[in-house]
Structure 1
Amino acid sequence: MKVSVLGGGSEVGASCLHIQIGNTNLLIDAGMRMHGDDLLPALGMLDGLGIPDCILVTHAHADHIGALPIVHSLYPSVPVYATPPTIDLMKVMMKDAFKIMEQRSKATDSLSAYTDDQVNRLLQSLLHFPASGILRIGDVTIKSYRAGHILGAVMFLIEGGGESLLVTGDLSFKAGRTIPGAVVPHDVSPDVVIMESTYGNRVHTDRNTEERRLSEHVAEVISGGGFALIPAFALGRAQEVLLTLQDYMDKGLIPEFPIYVDGLVTPISRIYKSYPHYLKGPVAHRIRRNGDAFLTEGRCKAVEPKERETLLQGKPACIVASSGMLTGGASSWYAERLVSGEKNAIFITGYQDEESPGKKLLDLADGLEQTLELNGTSYEVKCHVGKYGLSAHADANEMNRFIQSLKPTYTLLVHGDDEARSRLGELLDPRFNPVLAENGETYPFEKRASGRGIKGKRYQTSDGNNFLKEKIGNLLLYYSDDGQTMKPAICTGIHLKTNALICQTLKGKPVRLQYSQVAEFVGPWNGAVDELTDAVNEVFNFSRPILEKLDWGKLPEGELSIETIFDVIEPSDIREKLVIVLAMQSLPPEYRRKQDRGQAFYIIDDRMRTNLEKFDLPIEAIKMNPTAAMEKARDLLAQHPRFVRCGVNDLGTETERLTIYFDFPDAVKDSERKQLTDMLKKETGWDVSFSDSVRQDLLQKYISDIFGSDAGTPSIHLHERTVSLPAEKTAGSEQLIARFKETTGFQLRFKGEAEHTSETGKEHIFQVESSGNRMENNEAIAETKRWAEDRGLTIYKVGIKQEVVEVHFISPEIARRHEAELEELSWRIGRPVTYNKNPKQNEIIRITLESLPSDWEPKKNPSILIDRKTVSVKVAELPNEEEKKRISDKIERETGYALEVNR
């Protein structure tokens, strides 16, 4: 017996196997890769192998059938067998695959892999696998067994000349909503099993839980006014999703909402309903009773391309569309239009190829990406992204039990990435000789002298990697690509040939690491991943509270391993262990070294011990990230009567700080500021500063609230911290004045009292006696605009507040340069005039950016510092003083703001 792997060995895609048993040659599947330039299996290998006596198809997914038109054109007289549902599904899948391939060829000026005529010839030649489930070709017998996965999917047991081989295709042992799970042939013990291993490195989450999460999240998005897009594999996954959502609505577990079906999902669903005897009993019953179970009248409607725009202009709904990886088709069209809407969501329910847009979208949800490229255009992602485990593949434990049931002499693992196959290979009993199949390789198996079965080999292990095996099951920290940031992962196995650590992140993403990439092993973990994820997130979000619990003074001087440090400090749980590891990684390089196969040792002396006790080290997450810190500050200060907002200043520099903004900062005493500073430092880890900026709009409103409209329009003098009212002081005002001072920190003055002026020596309200009539509102606004145009003044808005015309300049500083003109305007319109006290920050930033020489290379947008009347910009290299002054003078002339330049 010989097994040749033409494709789909060390990958998910282009599945193709050549089997030789005795004098009979078989070809099983011939699929395509979904990405890259090399789409086809290694069909050139067929020249050196026996011409197939027949071709067998396990199921109708493109990665198993996509190259069949080429194979059929090479061997047009060789029969091609598949189950009846698979043949019907192939007629839809092949036509669509060819259309997409043609579009890609035109876009890339390349040749298609085959022609439309070749597709038609293949489809016309397909033969039904016998209803008995047994086919005899040459001197072998081929039996089919239900494989689960999708409609019509089968395994093939091939027997001949005393040898036997089972090819699983794609497997699913758990019954979904549409089809039963795989049949386990307990009475069969093949010599060789060729088994898929797509999810060989993981255990599936509970299906019911995932279905509930998906249904509830879709309902939440729609009730919030958004569209929920579910990109689904048209064949298999989409039907499961449609039944799930409708079942939850039928049971009243979620509200009713419309479902629209687009792309290949529609014709595939219609094929499903044609084979009720292949489906689960409840679904078959619904089809017989209602005529359909997927596209139901009034709830689930098929959409034509011409209806898509109208759909998105209508009421919120759920859209189930192909393809499942957003690589094209209807789902890609919808995603382009929904991905930037904050109310919308895209929910991923299946396997995502590493190069697919769907995988990039999941990376974005994990914080690894910021934008998504669809059809050559990059989009900012603002919609919600969710992932749900509705896999139609067997998981690692199921495959392990399956092999234990069959007890083969050899197990060839195909259809999986290296990490999945390696992990599964380690999980399987060595007695069954797991082999990680590689593309382009031929695996010969020698028949026993007795003529029954093939000769077996013992599984060999190497003592050289025993120290690595001890790390399996450990939580570890490894260095990311920048060599600075550390990330957590769980070691799940070892690649025996390279001694690499096979790991997966807490999100389930596979990672292969060399020992040198590991910063440190935190310790073994055998609990639930969700529990570990919560612990790790708590530490990486804010490590300081946990650091404060540890007695660093117990550390002895000397060169210590992490195990020794654990023994001394006695951490109580995985969180404290992780914090200790993070603290050790923050020691200066000269206090860290590696020896003995990479094991790390840490040098502790009085200085380092003191630094650890005072947290005077760059320990990761010693303070919250800026967003979390601001959210925490908002929560802590929510009840403070003066709190308005918070922000972060000088981010990324040594002076970065959390800045607190009050409406009336002068009303908050120094003693209270000290208490707030200490509290926020403890709760967020951030140093704190307080802005002196005053909310003038709230100040005016407060005056109106306590004095009423009779008080007139106030004059606010920020530098003197006084407010002047044009009204006369009345009896009993002293109590209001004291209350005003306590609440705002400003001194209140009435008409006739000592005047307080602005820094220019003039009042902010300009009113000149006019011989003309007082203009009404619209006339005054129009005349103000003409006045500005006549004098070449740039104003941004004219408004009227409490009978006073308010002119908006780019900043109050520019306005003060034109106070004489403002007096002239008052005379001209017969009304009092003032200017807006808030700068136009966007305009100041625009003018600043336009004024900066290109070789300054600003690192990001300038920052406006209102209290200092400056605009700050960070550049790669500081300019010379002469050039800096020239640019600063220009910006100051145009905006009233001085330029501050930093690196």
Structure 2
Amino acid sequence: MSGTPLDAALTAAATVVMARATYRGPDRTPAELVRNRRDWLLGLIARSSALRAEALARLPGDHPARLLFHPSADVAAAAARLAEAGTTTLERRVRQCTERNQKLKGKLDSLRRKLRYEKSDNAGLRADLDAARKAAADAEQEITDLQARLAAQHRRLADPRSLAAALLTALPPDADAALRTSLHDLVAPPRAAASARSRDLRVTPLGGDDHIGGSCLLVESGDTRLLVDAGIRPGDTPEPPRDIAAALQARPEAVVVTHAHADHCGYVPALAARLPRLRVVATPESCRLMPVMWQDSLKVMQQRADVRNSYGGSWQPLYDRTAMDDAVTRLEELPVGVPRRIGDLTVELFPAGHILGAAGAVVRAGDRRVVVTGDISGFRQESVDGYRLPDGARGADLLVLESTCCAEKHDDRETRVGDLVSTVADVHAAGGRVLIPAFALGRAQELALLMRTRLPHVPVLVDGMAKDLTRTFESAADLSIFGGNVAPAPRPPAYDSFTEGVVIATSGMLTAGPAVEWAARILPEADSAVLLSGYQDEESGGRRLLDDARGGAPVHELPARHGTRSVPLRARVDQIRLSAHADRHGLLDIADETRAAQVMLVHGVPWKQRGFRQTLDVRGHATARTAPWQAT
């Protein structure tokens, strides 16, 4: 952990301690004391203001570690917790990956020796060698990615605004009110009050309004402009929000991200690269998850660019690593229920259910208010509770309501979970395997928790990006997912050695990733099953598989890097919907509870939105067109 702000602080404190005979022990150097008695040293810093004062004098005036020696014990303790949380998890994973990489390299060397002395061409050994070589390369890349994220987090904690925002989150509830005010003013410096005229509130959808993907909403008051979300539109080559040019022209002060799914946060690095003063505001959980999502999206975009451009194309990823690292340094944590100024506007986040860290936003301009739900759900899931509206959301001027499932009535969630558990249990009892393609963030962790609690005797592997996100998810949620019967998939892959149990793998629509590789092995097995757990786009591999299975096709064409590949279709194929969105009745409950002057529908399909608007009208809710809106 050499070189972190926390290590610098501990070394300075250790130097002071070793100069005192009272504390001198068997450790001969400050470095040994830091290494051997870290927790004792942290406790001593928290208890002794004199030690903090002496250690403070040993650090440069602009060093970020000086916060650990603040005269206020609350600030010092919060800074220590923040430094530990910001680096320990990533550094531990770097060490784990390095150790795993050494083992893989040893296996690779062993296989090379076996191959060298093999007299005949052994196809199986060559396959093992190729798998070990790829696993070693993957481990090297993972170490590089983790080190890049760790460096970006260090830069973030050295930025005064980001550090102050994180300290506000880490401070105990009973911390000094004046201290909270000072930190808040550092995050959001006070400005002269706007005139009454300039407090008019304007809302303009820039993407993800009459379609799903590329969510982006512009909110304006006076001279202040902010965006709520900046997502990508998924596809073979991801695209920015539909009207991103208007967002760039508005030059917003901040983007408030409702949650870490790519269709809501995926364009933030590109936006931050073009707007150097842009603040990126989200819940602490989303601030942990978004860097992982951005990193994976960049890797996928680079792979797609390589393939397309090998055929003479010229497409480039929407952002590069520099932009991604810069976006990480801009992350500004905002816990739910805590108002924060952004120019003439005030933002308060509230829990929205859906996935870990998901939040709706109440945006105020004077006495005008707009409520943006983001993706929302009211039912409890294994990993997150339902939404909770704050008092400030009730009676707002405008409710911007997602409408993904506004034409659907979901079955009772416990019934759907029971169907899934029963199907998996039956397949496992028959000696088969179950593949569940799943979206990497939210759905994969929900499924893993369901398997762990409902079927603890069934082995479960989590593979692909879902594996990496689950580790971050556990850290951000203080939740155990891996353990018991649930484990991360090994490298090299256990396609043939994992003979019974459940595999949860990305991608959720069977368009690419390890889910496709697992499907190639599992679809030919008559006793096995592939269970699609969510929405399948019309052009997705999952939808084509469903159509083939329902039509009794003997073979299925799986996506491949260059074209498709045929596999026998003998396994059971089914779809089990475990939506994390509110259905028609849930959305009506939100509208009834908010009782806003007007309701605008976004994040949906036009024909479904038209029908739902009519229902809202019948229920006494005035609706606004999905178009630019202004408070009257």
TM-score by length of 2: 0.63
Residue aligning to 1:717: none
| RMSD over aligned Cα atoms | 2.2
Which of 523, 532, 540 lines up with 1:348 in the alignment? 532
What's the secondary structure of 1:432's corresponding residue?
Answer: coil
Residue aligning to 1:396: 584
Aligned pairs (5 A) from 1:721-736: none
Q: CA deviation at 1:443?
A: 0.9
Q: CA deviation at 1:335?
A: 1.7
Q: CA deviation at 1:111?
A: 1.8
Residue aligning to 2:20: none
Q: 1:186 to 1:403 in 2, by over 3 A?
A: farther
Residue aligning to 2:396: 190
Q: CA deviation at 1:313?
A: 3.1
Q: 1:223 to 1:130 in 2, by over 3 A?
A: closer
Aligned pairs (5 A) from 1:291-330: 292=480, 294-297=481-484, 299-309=485-495, 312-330=496-514
Mapped to 2, the partners of 1:339 and 1:33 lie a distance apart of 30
Q: 1:305 to 1:16 in 2, by over 3 A?
A: farther
Aligned residue type for 2:357: G
- Listed one character per residue, the Cα deviations across residues 418-442 of structure 1 (whole Å, up to 9, x for unaligned) are 23323322221354333452xxxx5
**Could you tell me whether the CA contact under 8 Å between 1:327 and 1:356 is conserved in 2?**
yes
What's the secondary structure of 2:230's corresponding residue?
Answer: coil
Q: CA deviation at 1:340?
A: 3.0
Residue aligning to 1:137: 342
Mapped to 1, the partners of 2:546 and 2:338 lie a distance apart of 41
Mapped to 1, the partners of 2:525 and 2:325 lie a distance apart of 42
Mapped to 2, the partners of 1:392 and 1:248 lie a distance apart of 19
Asked if 1:357 corresponds to 2:544, the answer is no
Aligned residue type for 2:508: G
What's the secondary structure of 2:423's corresponding residue?
Answer: helix
Mapped to 2, the partners of 1:7 and 1:317 lie a distance apart of 41
Structure 1 gaps of 5+ residues are 251-255, 277-283, 446-453, 456-903
How many positions carry a matched residue from both structures?
A: 421
Mapped to 1, the partners of 2:459 and 2:245 lie a distance apart of 51
Q: 1:363 to 1:436 in 2, by over 3 A?
A: farther
Residue aligning to 2:38: none
Q: 1:319 to 1:166 in 2, by over 3 A?
A: same
**Could you tell me whether the CA contact under 8 Å between 1:372 and 1:381 is conserved in 2?**
no
- Listed one character per residue, the Cα deviations across residues 167-215 of structure 1 (whole Å, up to 9, x for unaligned) are 1110011011111100033562111111111111101111111111111
Q: CA deviation at 1:108?
A: 1.2
Identity between Structure 1 and Structure 2 (%): 32
Q: 1:30 to 1:373 in 2, by over 3 A?
A: same
**Could you tell me whether the CA contact under 8 Å between 1:21 and 1:161 is conserved in 2?**
no
Q: 1:247 to 1:400 in 2, by over 3 A?
A: same
Q: 1:24 to 1:95 in 2, by over 3 A?
A: same
Q: CA deviation at 1:216?
A: 1.5
**Could you tell me whether the CA contact under 8 Å between 1:201 and 1:419 is conserved in 2?**
no
**Could you tell me whether the CA contact under 8 Å between 1:11 and 1:415 is conserved in 2?**
yes
Aligned residue type for 2:559: L
Aligned pairs (5 A) from 1:450-849: 454-455=631-632
Q: 1:249 to 1:304 in 2, by over 3 A?
A: closer
What's the secondary structure of 1:273's corresponding residue?
Answer: helix
- Listed one character per residue, the Cα deviations across residues 767-798 of structure 1 (whole Å, up to 9, x for unaligned) are xxxxxxxxxxxxxxxxxxxxxxxxxxxxxxxx
Mapped to 2, the partners of 1:126 and 1:345 lie a distance apart of 42
Q: 1:408 to 1:400 in 2, by over 3 A?
A: same
Q: CA deviation at 1:36?
A: 4.6
Residue aligning to 2:352: 147
What's the secondary structure of 1:29's corresponding residue?
Answer: strand
Residue aligning to 2:256: 56
Residue aligning to 2:184: none
Mapped to 2, the partners of 1:28 and 1:396 lie a distance apart of 23
Higher deviation after alignment, 131-140 or 385-394: 131-140
Structure 2 gaps of 5+ residues are 1-200, 310-314
Residue aligning to 2:363: 158
Residue aligning to 1:216: 422
What's the secondary structure of 2:250's corresponding residue?
Answer: coil
Which of 465, 470, 491 lines up with 1:264 in the alignment? 465
Asked if 1:234 corresponds to 2:437, the answer is no
Q: 1:44 to 1:429 in 2, by over 3 A?
A: closer
**Could you tell me whether the CA contact under 8 Å between 1:414 and 1:436 is conserved in 2?**
no
Q: CA deviation at 1:316?
A: 1.2
- Listed one character per residue, the Cα deviations across residues 424-475 of structure 1 (whole Å, up to 9, x for unaligned) are 22221354333452xxxx5132xxxxxxxx33xxxxxxxxxxxxxxxxxxxx
Mapped to 2, the partners of 1:155 and 1:161 lie a distance apart of 19
Aligned residue type for 2:376: L
Aligned residue type for 2:492: K
1 or 2, which has the higher helix percentage?
A: 2
Q: 1:8 to 1:131 in 2, by over 3 A?
A: closer
Asked if 1:385 corresponds to 2:573, the answer is yes
Mapped to 2, the partners of 1:336 and 1:305 lie a distance apart of 18
- Listed one character per residue, the Cα deviations across residues 384-436 of structure 1 (whole Å, up to 9, x for unaligned) are 11111211100011101211221222211111122332332222135433345
Aligned residue type for 1:322: T
**Could you tell me whether the CA contact under 8 Å between 1:186 and 1:406 is conserved in 2?**
no
Aligned residue type for 1:377: T
Runs of 4+ with deviation above 4 angstroms: none
Larger RCO, structure (CA 8 Å, separation 6 or more):
2
Mapped to 1, the partners of 2:329 and 2:440 lie a distance apart of 23
Q: CA deviation at 1:47?
A: 6.3
Mapped to 2, the partners of 1:408 and 1:131 lie a distance apart of 21
**Could you tell me whether the CA contact under 8 Å between 2:237 and 2:304 is conserved in 1?**
no
Aligned residue type for 2:381: G
- Listed one character per residue, the Cα deviations across residues 787-812 of structure 1 (whole Å, up to 9, x for unaligned) are xxxxxxxxxxxxxxxxxxxxxxxxxx
Residue aligning to 1:180: 385
**Could you tell me whether the CA contact under 8 Å between 2:399 and 2:596 is conserved in 1?**
yes
Q: 1:10 to 1:363 in 2, by over 3 A?
A: farther
Asked if 1:122 corresponds to 2:327, the answer is yes
Mapped to 1, the partners of 2:596 and 2:462 lie a distance apart of 43
What's the secondary structure of 1:354's corresponding residue?
Answer: coil
Q: CA deviation at 1:62?
A: 0.8
Asked if 1:443 corresponds to 2:628, the answer is yes
**Could you tell me whether the CA contact under 8 Å between 2:259 and 2:359 is conserved in 1?**
yes
- Listed one character per residue, the Cα deviations across residues 311-357 of structure 1 (whole Å, up to 9, x for unaligned) are x2343121011221222222122123322332221111122223221
Mapped to 2, the partners of 1:331 and 1:46 lie a distance apart of 38
**Could you tell me whether the CA contact under 8 Å between 2:253 and 2:277 is conserved in 1?**
no
Q: CA deviation at 1:131?
A: 6.4
Mapped to 2, the partners of 1:267 and 1:235 lie a distance apart of 10
**Could you tell me whether the CA contact under 8 Å between 2:237 and 2:301 is conserved in 1?**
no
Asked if 1:418 corresponds to 2:623, the answer is no
Which of 67, 70, 73 lines up with 2:267 in the alignment? 67
Mapped to 1, the partners of 2:552 and 2:207 lie a distance apart of 31
Residue aligning to 1:543: none
What's the secondary structure of 1:313's corresponding residue?
Answer: coil
Residue aligning to 2:216: 16
Which of 371, 376, 386 lines up with 1:171 in the alignment? 376
- Listed one character per residue, the Cα deviations across residues 269-293 of structure 1 (whole Å, up to 9, x for unaligned) are 22232244xxxxxxx6xx5xxxx2x
Q: 1:426 to 1:363 in 2, by over 3 A?
A: farther
What's the secondary structure of 1:141's corresponding residue?
Answer: strand
**Could you tell me whether the CA contact under 8 Å between 2:336 and 2:350 is conserved in 1?**
no
Q: 1:45 to 1:128 in 2, by over 3 A?
A: same
What's the secondary structure of 2:406's corresponding residue?
Answer: coil
Asked if 1:91 corresponds to 2:291, the answer is yes
Asked if 1:77 corresponds to 2:302, the answer is no
Q: CA deviation at 1:130?
A: 4.9
What's the secondary structure of 2:269's corresponding residue?
Answer: helix
Asked if 1:41 corresponds to 2:247, the answer is no
Aligned residue type for 1:420: K
Mapped to 2, the partners of 1:359 and 1:153 lie a distance apart of 28
Residue aligning to 2:518: 334
